[in-house]
Structure 1
């Protein structure tokens, strides 16, 4: 682990990730596991949210109770696979504002091409959590964060299921101020830009496409 990268080594995270890596795991089970693992990763990525207190009445007495401070979180999904993590985080933070960045990777250059961008307002006042299951080359993630910073986001965190060393290095070079939380740092990228050992294409496995 480094200050820039946090690998969540909780036994439940690692167990569920192993089931997701298995090539015989069904689409339905893969999608359910991704939602469950998102709950656990969300716990880590929101660990240091700013807190304040609010005066409330319990059934027994008044008290100053802890509350999250500031505007609602912004969750930004990198389409389409990011939606699998997004759904799980929304289970825990249902009031969060949600944005979407549509990028696809050119198969020849491996560079990201933008086709959609819609995000909440007042990003400069919100903690923004960007979600995408796979941090492979890091090009799409870095491009998405470029767009979010242009839209005003200042406090950004990146959440993924798997990361490759190449992607982590690319993100650290492009956005050293954006911490990364992941379930595993895998070995390398292959010639097609896939994470090895990885789990294949997360979007295809979530939605049953090829």
Structure 2
């Protein structure tokens, strides 16, 4: 799938290997998520178009100025997606942040939307969805459908630390135009919808909350 970009960056592989360890503390989980999110965002923004701006003066001469052309929106999927927000904003400080709350019902594994902070009309040109894990792909697929129904018809990208092969296949089947920048792809998805070896429950590990 040409729209799935699995990172081959050694720093990402190294940091995800540490992140998988169940014994690290929530503070280190948050720090690693921040670092991984920023590295993935760097890869996901490599093709952003530029436009010319008013020339400026350096200490020695006038120089040509370019700036990012599209208005970019960051859409973290609550709650674990918040772990990527500050990391990506450090690279894209003018990006708008628009929140979506979607959880996976434990029995059916179907996505349930519970929070939507999108304005009435789109005020952005491109979207980067922040979702540290794509397991079944149900939440990711639902998020894209919500964004398209809202009016985003152009570029939608995901950055995710760990994804299952099945989840990526499911997302691609429903939304083949969406690009995913993923740190590592795990092949196994268990009967409870958890990625194996995966990271466990990313939200619980980030916030030191016990699994319900």
Cα contact 1:103–1:113 (8 A) shared by 2 = yes
Structure 1 residue 10, shift from structure 2 partner: 0.7
For residues 115 and 60 of structure 1, the distance between their equivalents in structure 2, rounded to whole angstroms, comes to: 55
SS at match of 1:76: strand
1:38 and 2:37 are equivalent in the alignment: yes
**Offset at residue 122 of structure 1 (A):** 5.3
Structure 2: stretches of 5+ with no match in the other structure: none
Rate the CA distance shift 1:121–1:37 in 2: closer, same or farther, 3 A: farther
Q: Which residue of 1 aligns with 2:127?
A: 128
What pairs up with 1:94-133 in 2 under 5 angstroms? 94-119=93-118, 123=122, 125-133=124-132
Deviation readout 1:122-175 (Å, 9 max, x if unpaired):
537511001111100000110011011111112211111111011111111110
Contact 1:98 1:120 in 2 (8 A): no
- Secondary structure class of the residue paired with 1:123: coil
TM-score (ref. length: structure 1): 0.95
What do residues 57-113 of structure 1 show as CA deviations (whole Å, max 9, x unaligned)? 111111113321132x10001100001112211122121101111111111100011
Q: Give yes or no for contact 1:130–1:158 (8 Å, CA) kept in 2.
A: yes
CA distance in 1, matches of 2:79, 2:198: 18
Q: 1:182 aligns to what SS in structure 2?
A: strand
Q: Show the counterpart of 2:164.
A: 164
User: Residues 23-62 of structure 1, C-alpha deviation per residue, up to 9 Å, x if partnerless?
Assistant: 1111000101100111110100111001122222111111
Superposed counterparts of 1:1-210, under 5 Å: 2-54=1-53, 55-71=55-71, 73-119=72-118, 123=122, 125-154=124-153, 155-210=155-210
Q: CA deviation at 1:121?
A: 6.4
* Alignment TM-score, normalising by the size of structure 2: 0.94
Over aligned residues, Cα RMSD in angstroms? Answer: 1.3
**Which ranges in structure 1 are unaligned for 5 or more consecutive residues?**
none
Number of residue pairs aligned between Structure 1 and Structure 2 = 208
* Distance in 2 of aligned mates of 1:119 and 1:46: 22
Q: Structure 1 residues 70, 134: closer, same or farther in 2, change over 3 A? A: closer
